[in-house]
Every structure is written in structure tokens, then in C-alpha cells.
Amino acid sequence: MAGKKHLLIYLSALCLSASSSLSAADWPTFAHDPQRTGWASEESTLAVENVWRLELKWSVHLKNEPHVLNGLTAPVAADDVTTTEGIKNVVYVAGSSDHVFALDAETGKPIWNRDLEGFGKPRSPDHWVCPQGITATPTIDKQRGIIFVIASDGRVFGLDLGTGKTKYGPVQFVPPYSKNWSLNLVDETLYTSLSQGCAGAQNGIYSLNTRDPKRPMVRDLFLGGGIWGRGGPVAGDNGRVFGMTSDAPINAAEGNFGSSVVAASLATLEVLDYYTPINWKFINRYDLDLASGSPVWFRFKNYNLLAGGGKEGVVYLMDADALGDKDHHTPLFVTPRLANDQNSFEAKGIWGALSFWTDVDGQTWIYIPIWGPLSKMAPPFPKTNGPNPNGSIIAFKITQSGPGQKPSMEPGWISGDLSVPEPVVIANGVIFTLSTGEDVRQSHEGGVSPDGPTQLNNAERVQRATHAVLYALDAKTGKVLYDSGNSMTTWVHFSGLAVANGQIFAVDHSQLYCFGLKGE
């Protein structure tokens, strides 16, 4: 019986990665796959028993002019890439000033770099809300040997994985100098999301069918509220693409979906379903956007599920085929408030993205990055790992009490103190996260005012930053297995990790880092 259960888990992991045509050393998109699980299901080197042996293998300073808070995107990786120097495992990063870098994953040696020649200039200076440079993590189409990148002028470039030469486009995908988020790729169609109305662009989900390079097809879905969760659009295996929107007017009949979770058709971007929390007026009043966190799509028994949450510090577990049931206000399960008792629009609550993992015993886990202290309303956790005043990772188990019962969430553990943690990635029972070192204040008033507090300027946003730290935690207990100490020298804003072939790749504001096991 146990053997059958383990086989089913293996097949489930295989299905999750099949749509991306992954191999053991591929990390082709933000959070690994179109569903944004963060689960490196193919990784076979790193494990709970050996991550204490991690060390910094190499770091490389990348020549890129930051745009305020934005420097380098989260890394992506591909193995067995044919380059001018032979077949290599390659890691890729885009820089905010229209640069793309490809490096040998084993040594950090540059393989190629490419400047994306743009047209025109923005009308206004950079601001941390609208940095007007590359903001979207690229994505890899391994079958066609292409990495897709959105340049600051809104054109998408398809670059050869081995040489950096243009193989597709450039094609105008989104408005110039708009703020767009991590690219997703499903069946040769690219997806991104826009937020903050930068450069006058309309917020929503955008898609580009790249199958015929001479006849690209662009679709737009304007939603009113922006989608600025780290993962951009999240693609399910049920033919739907999902986004969680920022606070904005809500009128479904007019197509305005502020403070909502929206499902659209992958093929046509038509709105198919939505969920709006019952307290949406409160969320809008205090700027507690759902959009601060990307959801994660996953399967559990007979359900397609979506889990997500935002600044309010509440997680919603939804049926991905019927988000809010018939009234659009009824999810499967809602947690108590987990963070942000202060109702702050900055520095507290859920930020980044949720992640998913199924262990070898068949237990499904959800991991939530929390900024700030735990809420007084949070449920008790069976396992704690010390005080966590600045932030933490919280783990929940997905459970079902009996046949016919709806799935729910059961507290698992909470980590020790992590300052501004990034979304976690998972490999063989280990979760990895960055404590970013960023000073995440946005205002002089402390982020608790529905009346519009004074924003900090660009210099004030960066003056108190420290440096990032990579952590490895036991995925079942939250126990610290490794931390990188002072290995990373500066901070990072809105990034993510990549795990491939026994290596962890991370960026700070100006450098790319590779961690691996000693002696490997």
C-alpha cells in the first residue's frame, strides 16, 4: 500500500512539471512552473541530511544600473544548453537597465550578455512605484531554445539560450515603461500582469501567442485593480489563468474587479470566475491589497485548488474551478488573521507568493511568507522555532476531515525570526528563503492611514537597507538547517530563488550568487 502511495506522489509531481518540459537542472520561470508552486520536484542532490554543507560557490557583480529599488530579476536556469564553448548548464538574470546576462552555472563565467536596444524615453523620473526599467522575471521556452524578456519599452525579445541572439521578435507586448510582472509561458503563449498604472498603462492580464513569429496575437484583460504579486499571472492545469488584484472599485458587471481573485481563460483571457472577500470595503479603505501576494495553484485529491493572501494577513483556500462559489464570496476555507494587527499597508502581512509541496507520505503543505509579527488572532502552531518579531515563514497542512468534506488548512509550524522573507522554494524536504535586508517602509506615518500618508522618496527607501541572507529550513518543522551569514553583501527588492542541479541561485541589488554543497 505504501509503495502505491509513493508512486502516486511521484506521478503527481511528474504531472506538475510536464507542461514545462523540465529536466533535472531546469528552473525556467519564477517559482519553477506555471502554477508557481516553488517546488523543484526534479532536484535530487540537496536534502535535509546534507544542506548544512552548503557554501558560497561563486558570486559575480553584474554591470547594471539599478532603477531605484529594482536591480536584478530572480534567476532562471536551463541545463544542456549548446553554447559557443560547448554544452553548459546556464543561469540567466535580467537587469533593470535593459540588460540580460547568461552565466555558466558551474563557474559563474559569463557566456553572453545582451543589451536590449530600446526606443524613446519615459516622461517622468524613476520612482520606486514606477521604476521604468525591466521588472518582469524572464521565462524560458526550453523546446525552442529561447529565453523571453520584456524590455523597458514594452517589447518582448526572444533570445537564443546559447548565444543571446534574437530568435523571436521583438514584438510590442505591453505599453512602454509600464510595470509588468514575472512572465509565464503555457503552450507557446506568454502571460504577464500590469499594476500601478505606470506610464498610463491599464492594469490587468496581458497575453502574447508566440507560435507564429510573423503573426503575433496580443490579448489584454483590463481589470481595474493591478496584479503585482511576485509571480504575475498564475496558470492552472484547468485551462485558467489567475490573478489577485489590488484595491480598486468593484463592479463585476462593468468589468472592475478590485480586491478580488480573478480567473480568466488561458486561451482568450475572458473572465470566467471571480472571488471577492466579504470585507472588501475594509480591504479597500486601508489599502490591504490582495495583490501583495501571488497565489499558488495545486491539486489535492479530487480538487483543483488555489491558495492566496495579501496584506491583511488572511489566507483564502479556493476551489480553482469555482473560486467563491455561486455568490462569489464563499471560498472553501479562510484562516484567521495571521499577521498585520496594525492594518498597515506596508511592511506587514503576506507579501511575495505562497508555495506548495507534497511530502513522501502524501501530506500537502502550503508555505506563507509573513512580514512583521504574528497576529494575536493567529491559531496556535504545534511547532514553533523561537521569537519572530520581524517576519517568518508559516506552514499549513492541507487536510480533509472525511469524504464529502471540503478541504481546509491545519497549522503546521512557524519559523524563527526572518526579516522581510522572500517566497520559499522547496527541494527534497528543504525549503529555501531569503531574508532580504531591505528597508520596506513606504511612508513617514508608518503605513496605517486610509487618508494617504506622505510617501518616502527614493533615497529614503534605500538608506537603511542591510544585506540579504539565504536560509535553509526543514520543510516539516521549520528548523534552521543553514544560513549564509555575511556571504551576500547587499539587499534585494522583490526577487526570488532558483534551485537547479544541486545549486541555489540568488541575487541581491547588484550580484548573482551560487550556493552548493562543499566538495561537490
DSSP output for 182-203 = --EEETTEEEEEEETTGGGPPP
The amino acid that residue 167 corresponds to is K
C-alpha count within 13 angstroms, C-beta hemisphere, residue 217:
8
Q: Is residue 353 within 8 Å of 294, Cβ to Cβ?
A: yes
Distance CA 164, CA 79 (A): 16
Distance CA 114, CA 132 (A): 19
- Cα separation values, 40 from 30, 232, 457, Å: 12, 19, 38
Output the pTM of the full model. Answer: 0.93
Q: What is the DSSP letter of 461?
A: H
pLDDT at 15: 43
Q: For residue 99, give the nearest of 138, 128, 129 by alpha carbon.
A: 138
Residue in the block written with cell 497565489:
295
Instruction: Kindly state the average pLDDT of the residues 388-407.
Output: 94
Distance CA 26, CA 141 (A): 11
Residue-wise pLDDT for 111-147, tens only, equals 999 999 878 777 777 787 888 899 999 999 999 999 9
Instruction: Kindly state the average pLDDT of the residues 214-241.
Output: 95
pLDDT at 119: 81
Of the listed ranges 113-122, 193-202, 332-341, 510-519, the least confidently predicted one is 113-122
β partners of residue 244: 261
pLDDT at 7: 42
pLDDT at 451: 61
Q: For residue 88, give the nearest of 39, 186, 161 by alpha carbon.
A: 161
CA-based end-to-end distance of the chain? 36
Predicted confidence (pLDDT) at residue 14 exceeds the cutoff of 60: no
Of the listed ranges 239-248, 358-367, 401-410, the least confidently predicted one is 401-410
Predicted confidence (pLDDT) at residue 11 exceeds the cutoff of 60: no
The amino acid that residue 90 corresponds to is V
pLDDT at 438: 83
pLDDT at 66: 85
Q: Report the mean per-residue pLDDT for the chain.
A: 91
pLDDT at 19: 39
DSSP-based helix, strand, coil % in the chain, nearest 5: 10, 40, 55
Distance CA 368, CA 126 (A): 31
Q: Report the Cα 35 to chain-centroid distance in Å.
A: 10
Set of cell numbers at residue 168: 523571436
* Torsion angle in degrees (nearest 10) through CA of 505, 508, 511, 515: -30
22: pLDDT confidence band, cut at 50, 70 and 90? very low
Set of cell numbers at residue 316: 483564502
* Torsion angle in degrees (nearest 10) through CA of 498, 503, 507, 508: 130
Residue-wise pLDDT for 49-87, tens only, equals 999 999 999 999 999 988 888 889 999 999 999 999 999
pLDDT at 443: 74
Predicted confidence (pLDDT) at residue 17 exceeds the cutoff of 50: no
Residue-wise pLDDT for 451-467, tens only, equals 666 666 666 666 777 89
SS3 248: coil
442: pLDDT confidence band, cut at 50, 70 and 90? confident
pLDDT at 170: 96
Instruction: Kindly state the average pLDDT of the residues 19-33.
Output: 75
pLDDT at 127: 81
Distance CA 86, CA 394 (A): 43
Set of cell numbers at residue 270: 475572458
pLDDT higher for 207 or 249? 207
Residue in the block written with cell 473572465:
271
Predicted confidence (pLDDT) at residue 501 exceeds the cutoff of 50: yes
Q: Is residue 306 within 8 Å of 323, Cβ to Cβ?
A: yes
pLDDT at 461: 65
Of the listed ranges 1-5, 249-253, 451-455, the least confidently predicted one is 1-5
pLDDT higher for 121 or 247? 247
Domain 2-517 in CATH 2.140.10.10: yes
Predicted confidence (pLDDT) at residue 12 exceeds the cutoff of 50: no
Q: What is the DSSP letter of 493?
A: S
Burial class (CB in 10 A: 0-12, 13-18, 19+), 211: exposed
Set of cell numbers at residue 70: 529594482
Residue-wise pLDDT for 134-183, tens only, equals 999 999 999 999 999 999 999 999 999 999 999 999 999 999 999 999 99
Instruction: Kindly state the average pLDDT of the residues 414-425.
Output: 96
pLDDT at 23: 53
pLDDT at 132: 85
Distance CA 176, CA 132 (A): 8
Residue in the block written with cell 524563527:
416
DSSP output for 22-70 = --TT-B-STTSSTT---B-TT--S--TTTGGGEEEEEEEE-----BTTB
Share of the chain above pLDDT 90, in %: 82
